[in-house]
Amino acid sequence: MKFDSPATTNPIDQMKVVGKPVDRVDGPLKTTGQAPYAYERHDVVPNQAYGYVVGSAIAKGRILSMNLGPAKAAPGVLAIVTAKEAGKLAKGPRNIAALLGGPEIQHYHQAIAVVVAETFEQARAAAGLIRVKYERSKGVFDLASVKDSAPLAKAERDASESKVGDFEGAFSSAQVQLDATYQTANESHSMMEPHATIAAWEGDRLKLWTSNQMIAWAVDDMAETLGIPKEKIHVMSPYIGGGFGGKLFLRSDVLMAALGAREAKRPVKVTLQRALIPNNTTHRAATIQRIRMGADKAGKITAIGHESWSGNLSGGGPETAVMQTRSLYAGANRMTALRLAEHDLPEANAMRAPGEAPGLATLEIAMDEMAEKLGMDPIEFRILNDTQVVPDSPPKSTAEGEAPEASKAAPNPHPPFSMRPLVECFRVGAKRFGWEKRQPKPGQVKDGNWLIGMGVAAAIRDNLLMKSAARVRLDSQGGVTVETDMTDIGTGSYTVLAQTAAETMGVSLDKVTVRLGDSSFPVSCGSGGQWGGNNASAGVYAACMKLREAVALKAGIKADEAIFAAGLVSAGEVSLSLAEVAGKKGLVAEDLIEYGDIDKRFQQATFGAHFVEVGVDAYTGETRVRRMLAVCAAGRILNPKTARSQVIGAMTMGAGAALMEELKVDKKQGFFVNHDLAGYEVPVHADIPHQDVIFLEETDPMSSPMKAKGVGELGICGVAAAIANAIYNATGVRVRDYPITLDKLLDGLPEVI
């Protein structure tokens, strides 16, 4: 199905099943232990051995020697695989560093060996017997030390630098100016389920039961790494205990399980121990961001500049923290720039709302600071500078010698948003939250020892369109089975895809079975970037519409006249059950959703407003979040219950980023020191109060036949800044360096009388 023009009325608009707060269909399986994660698949293949990964003890350098003798002689050991035993391996295009190091070492805890034994304990004990001699090389582990020499990042999807108008001139002549520098921390995904894989070889064919968000990517990259045809790799990942972007790409657990199984000639299961994950896998990169803003005395932004510095291994990309600044607020004179320093800390890559989460954490503080300089309410300042078109549309990056996009048959330099109810998000949220009670002057509201403050921030996250395919079967009982390699990372994919099929085929939800996370199924968009729900459901819709055509044809009914309802297909005097039409052999249809240029003609995005109330202990500086509200405009909400779950989870992650989450860097040795959940703090139940979520009534016909958009990452965008702004309102202490821990507040707290 080609989607290249706005959606019109279709079966989804019936909203008999779609749009209802249906309980997750996988909920009973999760709560009864019948939805096993990768490491728990004891049923899939017999005689599983255990692998234990050894990580490098240096951040950069070479392995001079490895003494494996004592480990090989240890009880229960079946095999040990290092780079020597593995032989020639390639590096998948989506990996920055090699998944198996040696002799060259690229980062701390890079996998250098896997020990395979009969039991986990035997593998772990033997791994401790391996003796490695290293030659260290000097590395760069401090972003600030190389910031000033960092070049512009290499452009990929978007240009790394944009300029519209005369930013420098407009800023220097602005009546009111802000020039501030902010910092965000390195952060870890810290998903509940660690990276884990079971690998089994059947001749030259490899089966993998793993925890991965993008099945097709995993197949492609594993084939590239091992140098075997991708048709010989079968990846299965039906249930995933959280990913947040950390499982988008092939990681060392998959490769080490495969290599260990090949060497031991037995199925091998590997889980990355928790202490290995922050350094061995990926993380959100720290940033240093400078924001300059100029406005006239009436509050109109005349100049806005946003520059961001981040670091990564050679070949890696930047944290794209300036992208939302290109489209969130109006202003004729604009400049953004992404600069990337090459350093030797572990690989940085996508984490929930990459770009927007750290970018809005700073931009939305700057908006509050500017509003204060102008003597304006922070919400009114934002509303005054709202825009219905993209104010900053630089030419797409081009190859050397190629004409820039702007000189070709140029697209609209300022495309309109398909929908943009940001102002409504603020108005609705302000009324619900009681914003009128906020005291503009900081430090005025107290509750015993607690200083009370309110904060607000805008949220924006682009709506990404991606091809997504599905196969739908109608059986002799009138049951519908959906098959797609889409994954469910706790987001409710099973449920919303079942709702989509039920709505389109006119059957009850209990007649639908959804099968996910298998590379033998049609390739979907996968889970990530909040693109999964809209695109995957649109793919299922496309397959169901093709199945409807097959049903109508067999029933002797014109497809455009057929009515599907209550398990029947009917038209005029004809009415047949779907079971009857399917017959003993059943019917099968497969299709995909693919998009034209509709997302080029209209900027598609989701919007929101976050409101937070905090209390800060006047004596200790301890911060407690007291209330949180998110108002979201994200197209048609396919399931309010699962959508709310996604938003409150994202809000919780935003609170962690604001108040506690930081991977501490040992700047001499080059690794994250607090690399487990004992040292890396994440919010727990006691840290989070009741969270309120409002979804605006919205359907976006530009997004897909579902008229939906994503919501899972919108919920984190802006939350950190809303908390930071609330802390300032409570205390008068402006902290521009995340996380906002009590030591950064103590010296500035009002004197307690």
Catalytic residues: 713
Give the number of other Cβ atoms within 10 Å of residue 319's Cβ: 29
Distance between CA 54 and CA 45 in Å, rounded?
A: 25
Give the number of other Cβ atoms within 10 Å of residue 751's Cβ: 5
Please confirm whether the linkage preceding 440 is cis (ω < 30° from 0): no
Q: CB of 338 within 8 A of CB of 321?
A: yes
Residue type, 147: K
Kindly calculate the radius of gyration of the chain based on its CA atoms and give it in whole angstroms.
27
Q: Which residues of 105-134 are buried (b: 16+ CB within 10 A; e: fewer)?
A: bbbbbbbbbbbbbbebebbebbbebbebeb
Question: Tokens representing 376?
Answer: 């304006």
Closest CA to 68 of 118, 131, 114: 131
* Bridge partners, 253 (sequence order): none
* Bridge partners, 183 (sequence order): 288, 737
Distance between CA 454 and CA 377 in Å, rounded?
A: 12
Residue type, 153: A
Tell me the backbone φ, ψ of residue 255, rounded to 5 degrees: -65, -45
Distance between CA 49 and CA 114 in Å, rounded?
A: 12
User: Residues in the chain, how many?
Assistant: 753
Question: Tokens representing 189?
Answer: 């995904």
Residue located via tokens 């780079």: 83
- Quick one: how far is CA 590 from the chain centroid? 28
The DSSP 8-state label assigned to residue 489 in this structure reads: S
Give the number of other Cβ atoms within 10 Å of residue 666's Cβ: 13
Question: Tokens representing 208?
Answer: 């993998």
Beta carbons within 8 Å of 264's beta carbon, 6+ residues apart: 49, 78, 79, 116
Give the number of other Cβ atoms within 10 Å of residue 743's Cβ: 8
Question: Tokens representing 639?
Answer: 């399931």
Tell me the backbone φ, ψ of residue 55, rounded to 5 degrees: -105, 155
Residue located via tokens 């060497």: 263
**How buried is 611 (Cβ within 10 angstroms: 0-12 exposed, 13-18 middle, 19+ buried)?**
buried
- Quick one: how far is CA 320 from the chain centroid? 13
Q: At what angle do helices 252-264 and 215-226 cross, to 10 degrees?
A: 50
Sheet holding 468-474, edge to edge: 2-3, 587-595, 468-474, 480-483, 512-515
DSSP string, 249-282: S--HHHHHHHHHHHHHTS-EEEE--GGGHHHHS-
Closest CA to 480 of 552, 551, 532, 557: 551
Closest CA to 182 of 749, 744, 750, 748: 744
The CA–CA distances, whole Å, from 273 to 112, 193, 709, 712 equal 14, 11, 36, 27
The CA–CA distances, whole Å, from 728 to 41, 356, 626 equal 49, 22, 15
Question: Tokens representing 690?
Answer: 């009741």
By three-state DSSP, how is residue 700 classified?
coil
